[in-house]
Amino acid sequence: MIKLKKCSSDLPTKGFYLFDGNIQLSLMVRVGVNGYGVIGRRIAYAVSKQDDMELVGIAKGHPDYKAKLASAKGFKIYSSDLSGTGAFDRAGVVVSGTIDDLLQNVDIIVDCTPEGIGEKNKPLYEKAGCRAIWQGGEEHSISGLSFNAYANYGQAFGARYARVVSCNTTGLLRTLFPLKAAFGIKSVNAFLVRRAADPSETKKGPINALELEKQMPSHHGDDVKTVIPELNISTTAIKASTTLMHIHHVTVELGSGATSDELLDAWSGYRRIVAVSARDGLASTAHLMDMARDMGRGMGDLYEIAVWKEMLVDGSRLEYMQAVHQESDVVPENVDAIRAMCSIEKDAAKSIEKTDRSLGIGLSL
Ligand code: NAD
């Protein structure tokens, strides 16, 4: 984790440096990203914005436009094909080696490969002796530690392996954790309307149907329990022919009664939640994404979970709707997981604040 660098006359622009005569110690954690699709690209960008982390490089399978754009951004590229870099060489994309070379030079690798591939990559990470984070497409058993910054940052401190839970699970944990902390929760029932595909996916569907999740209850409730085991939660889900966002309808039996003002006040203490109103014209996922693009963030992302102020509250029974930008809500979680696992910051609130500041998270409408 500690890099030794010769002291130069130029002041460093990134990282913490301890000066000791001629030597400066850089305490930046060296991070690699394996898989550079929807999630990997965003995590690479977020890591590159941190002053206590260094993005060593990204691993990719194909020399496509994403590889060329990564190169233009100055990211080092490694071939995820262990047999060599031939495909990249033929396409004229400069690579620094294979995934094995990347793993030799990182403290932690963030696996962002498609569901099921992350499991197959585990022996590579074990052999290299680096820490590893997987995404929600993998099972909890891959690491035995499922992560959400608000709910269990401390459990990941110093951990070798962790899995950042999926976009839907992250969305549920984000808004349920503050409710549990403020009022207690007796039970949760959530109905998830999931986007069928991401905007760049052309081969997934349905394109003109609402499709039932085959399993009832859906797996999302059990996934929430990998982070908060004691939560009494059940979920059902359908897929809808949209690419923009997921929408959740959440019914909660709180431990104590609350008014809608008290509920909004409880959520307002958490920057990764934004309260929105249909009265402001934010009555659909299209409007939320339009707002996100207007904010000028990289890739037009909405890291925050949007909760509609229009909710039903009857004593301790609460019904609310929320929207989840599936492409980006897990991104700040990965940054915090790196900070916890590499023991950079013990205090969850400090890490979350740092991540949020670097990504401009924290909207108030
Ligand atoms: P993606 O298909 O967009 O990107 C995957 C990347 O991995 C691509 O760059 C692909 O070329 C590369 N890849 C494919 N096979 C590989 C291999 N064998 N070795 C190395 N790289 C390989 O996938 P994604 O949507 O970014 O999903 C990645 C993970 O994040 C999955 O676990 C997924 O469940 C999870 N996740 C996805 C979303 C989402 O909405 N897309 C949200 C949250 C979590």
| Residue-wise pLDDT tens digits, 144-175 | 999 999 999 999 999 999 999 999 999 999 99
Q: HEC profile for the chain?
A: CCEEEECCCCCCCCCCEEEECCEEEECCEEEEEECCCHHHHHHHHHHHCCCCEEEEEEEECCCCHHHHHHHHCCCCEEECCCCCCHHHHHHCCCCCCEHHHHHHCCCEEEECCCCCHHHHHHHHHHHHCCEEEECCCCCHHHCCCEECHHHHHHHHCCCCEEEECCHHHHHHHHHHHHHHHHHCEEEEEEEEEEECCCCCCCCCCCCCCEEECCCCCCHHHHHHHCCCCCCCEEEEEEEECCCCCEEEEEEEEECCCCCHHHHHHHHHCCCCEEEECHHHCCCCHHHHHHHHHHCCCHHHCCCCEEEECCCEEECCEEEEEEEECCCCCCHHHHHHHHHHHCCCCCCHHHHHHHHHHHHCCCCCC
Confidence at 10, pLDDT banded by 50, 70, 90 = very low
Q: How far is the CA of 186 from the centre of ligand 1 (A)?
A: 35
The ligand 1 atom nearest the CA atom of 80: 20
Q: How far is the CA of 148 from the centre of ligand 1 (A)?
A: 19
Confidence at 13, pLDDT banded by 50, 70, 90 = very low
Confidence at 25, pLDDT banded by 50, 70, 90 = low
Residue 36, pLDDT above cutoff 80: yes
Phi, psi of 164 (to 5 degrees): -80, 125
Rounded (5°) CA angle 307-194-267: 15
The pair of structure tokens assigned to 5 is: 């660098």
The pLDDT score that the predictor gives to residue 84 is 86
Catalogue all structural domains in the chain, each as residue range(s) with its CATH number: 4-165+330-354 (3.40.50.720), 167-324 (3.30.360.10)
The pLDDT score that the predictor gives to residue 22 is 53
The pair of structure tokens assigned to 122 is: 């585990």
The pLDDT score that the predictor gives to residue 82 is 85
In the block, tokens 């809500």 appear at: 329
Confidence at 298, pLDDT banded by 50, 70, 90 = confident
Residue 317, pLDDT above cutoff 80: yes
Which residue has a Cα nearest atom 37 of ligand 1? Answer: 39
Residue 245, pLDDT above cutoff 80: yes
How far is it, in rounded angstroms, from Cα 166 to Cα 172? 10
The pLDDT score that the predictor gives to residue 88 is 95
* Residues annotated as catalytic (active site), given as ranges: 167
Which residue has a Cα nearest atom 12 of ligand 1? Answer: 35
The ligand 1 atom nearest the CA atom of 135: 32
The pair of structure tokens assigned to 198 is: 């991401």
**Stated pTM of the model:** 0.94
The pair of structure tokens assigned to 11 is: 């002041």
Nearest residue to 175 (alpha-carbon basis) of 186, 188, 162: 188
24/278: higher pLDDT:
278
- Bridge partner list, 210: 240
The ligand 1 atom nearest the CA atom of 64: 11
Compute how many other C-beta atoms are within 10 angstroms of the C-beta atom of residue 84: 12
Q: How far is the CA of 111 from the centre of ligand 1 (A)?
A: 8
Q: What percent of the chain has pLDDT over 90?
A: 90
| Residue-wise pLDDT tens digits, 77-109 | 999 988 889 999 999 999 999 999 999 999 999
Ligand 1: residues whose CB is within 6 Å? 34-40, 60-62, 80, 112-115, 117, 135-138, 166-167, 198, 326-327, 330
Q: Mean pLDDT over all residues of the chain?
A: 93
Q: How far is CA 348 from CA 13, 140, 271, 332, 335, in A?
A: 25, 22, 13, 12, 12
Which residue has a Cα nearest atom 21 of ligand 1? Answer: 35
- Pocket probe mutation, ligand 1, options 88, 135, 165, 172, max atoms within 8 Å of Cβ: 135
Residue 231, pLDDT above cutoff 70: yes
How far is it, in rounded angstroms, from Cα 273 to Cα 363? 8
The pair of structure tokens assigned to 247 is: 């929408």
Q: How far is the CA of 43 from the centre of ligand 1 (A)?
A: 12
Look up residue 332 and give its amino acid.
P
Q: How far is the CA of 200 from the centre of ligand 1 (A)?
A: 12
The pLDDT score that the predictor gives to residue 20 is 52
The ligand 1 atom nearest the CA atom of 326: 40
Query: What is the rounded average pLDDT of the residues 47-75?
Result: 97
Which residue has a Cα nearest atom 10 of ligand 1? Answer: 35
Confidence at 2, pLDDT banded by 50, 70, 90 = very low
The pLDDT score that the predictor gives to residue 12 is 37
Interstrand relation of 131-134 and 305-308 (parallel, antiparallel or unpaired): unpaired
The pLDDT score that the predictor gives to residue 363 is 86
